[in-house]
Each structure stands twice: as C-alpha cells, then as structure tokens.
Structure 1
Amino acid sequence: MAKSKTAFVCNECGSDYAKWQGQCNDCGAWNSLSEVRLGGPAGAGAARSGKARGGFAGTVSEARLLGEIDLEELPRFSSGAEEFDRVLGGGLVPGSAILVGGNPGAGKSTLLLQTMCHLAANMDALYITGEESLQQVAMRARRLGLATDRLRLMTETHVEAIIAAAENHRPRVLVVDSIQVVHSDDLSSAPGSVSQVRECAAFLTRFAKRTGTVLFLVGHVTKDGSLAGPKVLEHMIDCSILLEGGHDSRFRTLRGQKNRFGAVNELGVFAMTEQGLREVRNPSAIFLDRSSEPASGSAVMVVWEGTRPLLVEIQALVDASALGNPRRVAVGLEQNRLAMLLAVLHRHGGLQVGDQDVFANVVGGVKVLETSADLALLLAIVSSFRDRQLPRDMVIFGEVGLSGEIRPVPSGQERLSEAAKHGFRRAIVPKANAPRGDIRGMQVIAVSRLEEALAAVE
C-alpha cells in the first residue's frame, strides 16, 4: 500500500511546508509546525489525470454580474440577548459559522446554553456536547432555571455522527462544544491535532453553508490568550468572538475579533450571577464605580468600543524605584505605548520619571486597544507623580503624537455627549474634536499641545 503524503502547517499563520523545520519562514514563529496528513497518492493521481483531460467532476457555478446581485439585507434573528446581538453585528445570520473562545470557566458553555434554550422555544436547536455528559449539562440548565422542554441535547465526538444527527433533525442553530474534541475517522491523528481541528471545522462549516444552519463552535484558549488550533481555523469561520473575564471578577466582556456581518472590536458586557450570565445595559456605570475618597493618579477617559462610547477609569502609580532598571507595567494597555508616552512626557512636558516605577491599570479589566487613552494616561501619571488630584467631574481623551501634539480621535461629539449623560461637567479634548456648539452643563477645554493639557490641570 502506498504511503499517504504529509505536510507541515504553521499553527500561527497557516503556512505549509514539505519538511519540518524549527522556524516558520513567513511569520517567524518557532516550533509552530505540526504534521498534517494529506490525501493518498492514488487520489492525487486521479486528480492530476482529471486535470490533464480538462474535465471537472463537480458542478460548475455560473458567473454573475456584480450589478445583478440582489442587495437585500441578510435575514437575521435575535439570540435573546441584546449584548450578544451587538457583538454579532445585529443578530444571527443563517448559514454563518461563529467561533466562541475564552479561558476555562469564563462562561462559554453557560452563555451558549442560555442562548440555545431561548432559541429552542421558537425553532429547532441542537446542542452537541463532547466534553460533558448529558447529566452535567442538564444539571447546569436546572441550576440556571432555564426552559429544558424544547432543546435537543446530544453527546458525540465523531464529526460524521454529528453531521448525520444534524441532517436528521435539521436544526436552525447548532452548537458544537468543543471543536478540539471532535474528530474524524478518516484521519489517524489524535483529536485536537491540527489536521483534526482543521478538517472537522471545514466539514461542519460546509454543512452550515449548505443548509443555512447557524453554527457555533466552542474553541479553547492558549496561555497567551489566543485561540488554540491552527490559524486557518479563524479564516474558515465568519465570526470570531472572545469571552474574557477573570475568576476574581463577576463581569465578563464579549469582544468581536472578526465579523463578516458587522463591526469588529464590538464589546458586550455580562455579569456572572447565580442565574447565569446577565446583560449589563449600561457598562459605563460599572466601570465608573469609583472610590468615595478622592485620590491622585486617577482619571476618566472615553473610549470607543465598536459602535458606542464607553467611560472607563484609568489609574497610574508613580513611585521611587529601588532597582537599577525602573519597572514599566501596563494592565489593559499596550506596554510599548506606555514607554513611548513617558518619553514624550519627558521631552515635551518637562517631567522626568526615568528613575521612577510607573504602573498603569484600566479599572474593570477592560482592554483598551485605541489611542484615545494617551492623554488620559499621561495626565493620570502627572497626577500621581505630583500627588495632585484631578477633578472628579473631568473626562479626558485624545491621542498624543511624538512631537507633543494632541491629535483628534473619531466620534468626539458622541464621546462628550456620553460623558455629559453621566454627570461630567468638564472635559479636556483635542482642539479638532471641540464641539461646534455648547454642550449643556459641560465646559470643554480644547488643547493642541501637551503643554496646554498640563497647564489645564495645574
């Protein structure tokens, strides 16, 4: 019998190689190549002979003019949670494949079980569990007080059996928990390997596209917080969302990382309770739960998450360093950006903190990915260094350039309106973001240089 061919695929970028090597040439990752079994030589020879004859065994699709394509909006239906719908781009799209990732214990299975029990009241829904028994899932549903009389539940890890059950029941929504334990009999590798995850996900995705079924795939997360498995898995699906939240916090954030049907980096906030995950309709209120005692090093900023503004408190602590190399620690912010802003503060603000330890933290566990937090971070550092409190009714946002200029950020008017709703009466913003008209009850200080912003808080 002829030996089957193999290839080596990079788990980080999806590049493939004929032989194993220590480093991927495309992304530079070390020890990221995994062996993948390909089709046998017989199949390859048949494919080559077919190409040589110029034939094709499948059905050839007909090409259409771009202007003739119907632009009617894809029909969506709600998941039952507005925060979940927001991250998905407005609801569930038939035929879409959605990958849900998160740390162990974050609440992935709880969120999907709540969603499926709600949807099962109006449509056929099938929940496939491969990591838990039927009794474990039923116990969780009873503890959460969910309706259990309509949802179909099945424990299975063979992808062929899952597809057969889905063909039989024809659900509109299908959950596979999780993709790392699903395997195919056609592949000899172990479940969770690169080849098994890739082929099983492709098999399930093709079924979802063919039948118009909404497919949820639960994915594991590695130590660095990224989704486990081959990188090509994220390219196959339509939407990738990550459920974040530590064990010491009752709040969970659902963030979209890829979405073909909506905005990316949309944020949904949930609270973990005894009845499961509950929506937080006003996230700014929980992230602004500040101490009653005023303290230096605290500032409030307005970040833009997806399609809405979010008020978040940022804290900074500057202290004399006992080490030869002072520490620079950023939680919820980019580490390299903190070092860059400290250099700008020294050059254009006249404040030397080179011999000080600098710690920065975004309250509530939120990860700030945009540059509008630059100005608020610098003013919080100055407040801690000088031990001077910033006004509690002041909100700050703006990007800081390397030459000390304060650059504008998108949606400045909406950020100010959100701050005014929460009782803020003063704001320091980039000059280009100054509102055209007065905002009732708010004094807006527009600055164009870092020196002007520092003078405004002295």
Structure 2
Amino acid sequence: MAKTKKRYVCQACGSVTHRWQGQCPDCAEWNTMVEDAPATVFSQKHDLSSGGRAVEFVALNQPAELPKRRGTGLDEFDRALGGGLVPGSAVLMGGDPGIGKSTLLLQTAATIARAGGDVVYVSGEEAAGQVRMRAARLGLADAPIRLASETSVRNILTTLGGMQPPSLLVIDSIQTMHSDTIEGAPGTVSQVRGCAFELIRYAKENGVALVLVGHVTKDGTIAGPRVLEHMVDVVMSFEGERSHQYRILRALKNRFGAVDEIGVFAMANEGLEQVSNPSMLFLSGREQPLAGSAVFPALEGTRPVLVEIQALIVRLQSGATPRRAVVGWDSSRLAMLLAVLESRCGLNFSSAEVYLNIAGGYRLSDPAADLAVAAALVSALADTPLPRDSAWFGEVSLAGEVRPVAHAGLRLREAAKLGFAKGYGPSDAKPGSAKLEYFGLGQLSNLVDRVMTKE
C-alpha cells in the first residue's frame, strides 16, 4: 500500500529534505525551502525486470546522418549555436532582466518566419499587445509569427496538437509556465521541471526546435532546478552590462557543437545589431598610448577576440587600507598575480589601490590573460605606456614563469590582421604564419625589465 510523504525543495540549489527548515542545509540560503509535490513511497519491493518493452540497440560504428540545421538568419546566433538550430532540440537561454533575451528571440523568430518557417511565440510574461508593440518598434510587425500569451502547458500542448508542428517554438519564459498535474505555484522546482519535460517531449516527438527563456538568480545562474540544464541540449547565456551597448551570447553547453563559442551584438534603437568584427569593437578609442593599457588576444571557442585590459594604480598615504577593484576578471586571480609580482619581481603594490577593468563590458575567464594583466599593472605602476602595437598573452605560475597556452598562432594571427606588429608571450610558443615580431618571455621578471626600460 502506497503512502505519501511531504518533501521540501530548495529553490536555490535543489536540495530535498522531508521537513521544512528556515535555512537550506546544503547551500545555506535562507527562506528557500518550498513544499514540493508529494513523493510516493512503496512499502514493498517491486520487480522491474519484466513487464516493459524491449530496447532496440544500434551499433556505435554504424554510419549516421548528421543533424540538419536551420539557420536563424543571424550569423552571430548561428555561430554560438554551432551552425544553427537543430530540429527536435531544446535550447535554454538565460540572462539578466532587460539584457535583450526577448528582443533577440523576437528578431530570430521574425527572420525565420519571413523565410517561410512556421514560428510559434508563446509569452507568459507579457500580453500579446505588449509583444506587438515591441515588434513594431523593431520593424518586425509584418512578420507572420503565431503569437499567444499563455501560461498553461496543457492549453499550449492541446493547441499545438491540433495544428501542424511549427519549425520553431519559443517559450518566454519557462518559470511562468504552469501544469495542472503538479502541485505548486509557477516557478517552483517541481513546476519548472515538469513543464520543461512536457515541452521538451513534444519538441523531440515532432521535430520542433524549442527555445526556452530562463530567469537567472542574483549570482547569474539560471533559476530553478539544476536538472533543467541537463534536460536541454543547449544552454546559452546572454551577457553584458545594461549600461553598455554590447551583448555577448555564449554557449555553455552544446550537444551539437563546441562550447564557449560566442556571438557579439550591439544594442541599438532598432534592436540588436550583429558585430562581425568584435576585436575592432573592443579596441575602439585607443588613439593615444596610455599607461596601464594592454591588449590581450582572447580565444572564445574557435574565435579569437582582441580585448583591452586597463589598470590604474593609486598611491595612498601611510596607514590607509588599499582597495582592490576588478571588473570583468577574477578578483582571486588578480590577488595571486599581485603576490607573484611582489614576491618574484620585487614590485610594491601593498601601499597602493589597484583598479582593473576589461573594456567594453567583456568578461574574461581565459588563464592566458595573466601576462596581459601583469603588463597593464606594471605599466600603470611605472607610469610608462606599453607599445601601442603590441599584444600580450601567457599564463603566469606562482614561480613567476610564463607558461604556454593553447592556440598561440591563432591569437597572433588575429593580432597581426588588426595591424599589431609585436607579440609577447611564452618563450616556446610558435607564432606560425602570423606576420609580426614575436618576443618570448620565459619569466615574469623579463616583462618587468622590458616595461621599465621602455623597450
């Protein structure tokens, strides 16, 4: 005989307990435990070795046809997806409020609809009139998109079941969807998981490309259960500062392509515009050489992007506590790099405030940025501009060594293409066919000597 047992699920991390607590025992967040749908516990063991259907196996070495992709009409979006949307795939897109997720998807839906594709756009956050107003502002009012404002998954699937499956289905957003077969309010762990499962099942059974918009928490992760990211095929993050016009679409997970690919957009009055050459975008405004500025050839997936790293050193009076402020980079890595510069190179940052910024609202996670950051810091400390036509890359170890990084030739070729004449990096890096002068730096102290002697 079955008996029901209450359970409570943390809205922040998905942890499950069988009694309510004010603080989650796993992530230590307060007031995040919400009662979930009752779990059924069987008092006797059931044999699952019979009664099912036989599973059909296929050979691993059997030739298989590659999935056919459908272009979105936006090259930057296609690049981040790995070539376009795959029929029957589920894409989860997250981003801060107001960053432009709905604008990007509305532009994509309009482009596909104008090209002859059948597109269904379901908004659970806005009324149909509000979406029409945005479409008119973006010049997309004539696009033949099937638009609806609905939050019931049952009503959505019933409607879709009575019509030809569309080419693209957009759900904005998954946290507003509600299933009447699951207890709980929209946005709870059980509702998000159950609604996503039903929508993904429909998409895979009918070969529909599904895009789910997801809310994010205060730390930037997608709200709801972590299992949601495992259920979908592609997880994308739309990043950027609302005060900046630039937006970066980044693939965090992709079952049909490479991860860490990016698409770059610029927010304009007519919507999002594609940026085909992001290196020129992030390097704009560097007319005069300034102390504390270094150019780093970053690598996003297979795409090299040149970004400017800016550093500022402010000397303090004795007794004041210095600040360390970082925008766009890991603050822990900055602390490590400052310690290496003091310990291995004899520089003094302990009595100075250090400010570090990645220009254009870009966020760096590439360890190869260590050398460029160090160059900017030393340049700011010595008040000596670096050569304006130089690019810097390399990972710095705790021993002060400049270690090799991947795809050095690709980074240097991008720098040479934009007119840079000098490259600085690990001593054993191979510039390949890059047409610039390359200088290998085995130790971080070599960088300090070059900057101090103005080479």
Structure 2 length-normalised TM: 0.93
Provide the C-alpha distance between the structure 2 equivalents of 1:230 and 1:53, rounded to a whole number of angstroms.
Answer: 28
**Aligned equivalent of 1:150:** 144
**Aligned equivalent of 2:6:** 6
Alignment equivalent of 1:93, drawn from 66, 72, 86: 86
**Aligned equivalent of 1:338:** 334
**Aligned equivalent of 1:214:** 209
Quick check: 1:386 aligned with 2:385? Answer: no
Alignment equivalent of 1:66, drawn from 40, 53, 60: 60
**Aligned equivalent of 2:307:** 312
Structure 1 residue 39, shift from structure 2 partner: 4.9
Given that 1:12 and 1:231 are in contact with CA atoms closer than 8 Å, whether structure 2 keeps it comes out as no
Structure 1 residue 308, shift from structure 2 partner: 0.8
Provide the C-alpha distance between the structure 2 equivalents of 1:368 and 1:171, rounded to a whole number of angstroms.
Answer: 38
**Aligned equivalent of 1:138:** 132
Question: Deviations 1:345-378 (Å, cap 9, x if unpaired)?
Answer: 0111111111111111100111101111100101
- Unpaired runs of 5+ residues, structure 1, are none
Given that 2:193 and 2:228 are in contact with CA atoms closer than 8 Å, whether structure 1 keeps it comes out as yes
Aligned AA for 1:231? R
Provide the C-alpha distance between the structure 2 equivalents of 1:378 and 1:372, rounded to a whole number of angstroms.
Answer: 11
Given that 1:101 and 1:227 are in contact with CA atoms closer than 8 Å, whether structure 2 keeps it comes out as yes
Provide the C-alpha distance between the structure 2 equivalents of 1:294 and 1:256, rounded to a whole number of angstroms.
Answer: 34
Quick check: 1:361 aligned with 2:357? Answer: yes
Structure 1 residue 105, shift from structure 2 partner: 1.2
Given that 1:118 and 1:147 are in contact with CA atoms closer than 8 Å, whether structure 2 keeps it comes out as no
Given that 1:198 and 1:230 are in contact with CA atoms closer than 8 Å, whether structure 2 keeps it comes out as yes
Question: Deviations 1:204-236 (Å, cap 9, x if unpaired)?
Answer: 111112111111111112222221112121111
SS in 2 for 1:37: coil
**Aligned equivalent of 1:431:** 427
Provide the C-alpha distance between the structure 2 equivalents of 1:71 and 1:417, rounded to a whole number of angstroms.
Answer: 36
Provide the C-alpha distance between the structure 1 equivalents of 2:399 and 2:420, rounded to a whole number of angstroms.
Answer: 30
Given that 2:99 and 2:242 are in contact with CA atoms closer than 8 Å, whether structure 1 keeps it comes out as yes
Provide the C-alpha distance between the structure 1 equivalents of 2:308 and 2:222, rounded to a whole number of angstroms.
Answer: 29
Provide the C-alpha distance between the structure 2 equivalents of 1:214 and 1:414, rounded to a whole number of angstroms.
Answer: 34
Provide the C-alpha distance between the structure 1 equivalents of 2:320 and 2:72, rounded to a whole number of angstroms.
Answer: 54
How many residues get paired? 448
Structure 1 residue 5, shift from structure 2 partner: 3.2
Quick check: 1:416 aligned with 2:415? Answer: no
Identity %: 47
Alignment equivalent of 1:325, drawn from 318, 321, 338: 321
Q: What is the correspondence of 1:170-209 to structure 2 with a 5 Å cutoff?
A: 170-209=165-204
Alignment equivalent of 1:83, drawn from 66, 76, 91: 76
Quick check: 1:267 aligned with 2:266? Answer: no
Structure 1 residue 149, shift from structure 2 partner: 4.5
Quick check: 1:238 aligned with 2:246? Answer: no
Q: What is the correspondence of 1:367-378 to structure 2 with a 5 Å cutoff?
A: 367-378=363-374
Quick check: 1:407 aligned with 2:403? Answer: yes
Quick check: 1:445 aligned with 2:439? Answer: yes
**Aligned equivalent of 2:221:** 226
Alignment equivalent of 1:287, drawn from 262, 282, 285: 282
Aligned AA for 2:93? V
Change beyond 3 A, Cα 1:53–1:445: closer
SS in 2 for 1:224: coil
Provide the C-alpha distance between the structure 2 equivalents of 1:91 and 1:67, rounded to a whole number of angstroms.
Answer: 26
Given that 1:35 and 1:194 are in contact with CA atoms closer than 8 Å, whether structure 2 keeps it comes out as no
Question: Deviations 1:138-171 (Å, cap 9, x if unpaired)?
Answer: 1111221125352111111001111112222311
**Aligned equivalent of 2:108:** 115
Aligned AA for 2:47? A
Structure 1 residue 54, shift from structure 2 partner: 4.7
Change beyond 3 A, Cα 1:53–1:416: closer
Provide the C-alpha distance between the structure 2 equivalents of 1:370 and 1:452, rounded to a whole number of angstroms.
Answer: 22
Given that 2:12 and 2:29 are in contact with CA atoms closer than 8 Å, whether structure 1 keeps it comes out as no
Q: What is the correspondence of 1:41-52 to structure 2 with a 5 Å cutoff?
A: 51-52=46-47
Given that 2:95 and 2:101 are in contact with CA atoms closer than 8 Å, whether structure 1 keeps it comes out as yes
Given that 1:98 and 1:217 are in contact with CA atoms closer than 8 Å, whether structure 2 keeps it comes out as yes
Provide the C-alpha distance between the structure 1 equivalents of 2:450 and 2:362, rounded to a whole number of angstroms.
Answer: 27
SS in 1 for 2:47: helix
Aligned AA for 2:81? L
Given that 2:132 and 2:141 are in contact with CA atoms closer than 8 Å, whether structure 1 keeps it comes out as no
SS in 1 for 2:61: helix
Given that 1:12 and 1:29 are in contact with CA atoms closer than 8 Å, whether structure 2 keeps it comes out as no
SS in 2 for 1:380: helix
**Aligned equivalent of 1:351:** 347
- Unpaired runs of 5+ residues, structure 2, are none
Provide the C-alpha distance between the structure 2 equivalents of 1:247 and 1:14, rounded to a whole number of angstroms.
Answer: 29
Quick check: 1:30 aligned with 2:29? Answer: yes
Aligned AA for 1:67? N
Structure 1 residue 11, shift from structure 2 partner: 4.1
Change beyond 3 A, Cα 1:79–1:102: same
Provide the C-alpha distance between the structure 2 equivalents of 1:266 and 1:272, rounded to a whole number of angstroms.
Answer: 20
Question: Deviations 1:62-121 (Å, cap 9, x if unpaired)?
Answer: 2233223x3321111101111101111111111111111111111111111111111123
